[in-house]
Structure 1
């Protein structure tokens, strides 16, 4: 079981309902549509995540040390959107770090399970 987050490069929606609408549009465009290279800000964000925890399988003797549910993380990014999963047993620490990094990077962080912005 995994816990997913969506991070995107763009203006912050006014509320959770608007964020859900933006997320669904971005997901359809970038995850279901034609794959596009991630924006430089999304790439930089992913670099920040893997500076904290390596990609799943990278140099870890114990794969349980990584919070990511798959890897490399860059494979979960397309265009403006990065949609990624964390193993449920480690999601709280990883999600908190991911949300803080998104905020400090000027990116939007959205929890699709709870359908809410993470601010």
Structure 2
């Protein structure tokens, strides 16, 4: 079982309900079916930054990576990445992922709770 986040390019939705609709639309368009698109430049840079903090699970010889699937880049298509992390590291990794998304002007959405991830400034 994993803890899942979605991160995408757009203005921050006004509320959780709107964010849920946007996530579902993006998921249907970019991840639910073939063919998937390569990640956008901004999402690719976001993934690179995540992997600078923790290695990809496919390269994790010391079992320190929080990611539940890999390669992490395969979880992205176009302006969206939908990725999981192990429950044992979810608190730390999701907080980092949400803060990193916010710092890059990306939206971070908690899929389990169907809500926007709060950030320090909001």
Looking at structure 1, the residues matched to 58 and 72 of structure 2 have their Cα atoms a distance apart, in angstroms, of 11
Number of residues paired by the alignment? Answer: 117
How far apart are 1:62 and its partner, in Å?
2.5
TM-score, normalised to structure 2, is 0.93
How far apart are 1:32 and its partner, in Å?
0.7
| Corresponding position of 2:54 | 53
TM-score, normalised to structure 1, is 0.95
Instruction: Provide the alpha-carbon RMSD of the alignment.
Output: 0.9
Looking at structure 2, the residues matched to 48 and 111 of structure 1 have their Cα atoms a distance apart, in angstroms, of 19
SS of structure 1 residue aligned to 2:57: coil
After superposition, the C-alpha distances for 1:40-79 in whole angstroms (9 at most, x for unaligned) are 0000000000000000031x3332x110001110000001
Superposed structure 1 runs of 4+ greater than 6 Å apart: none
In structure 2, stretches of 5+ residues that fail to align are: none
| Corresponding position of 1:6 | 6
In structure 1, stretches of 5+ residues that fail to align are: none
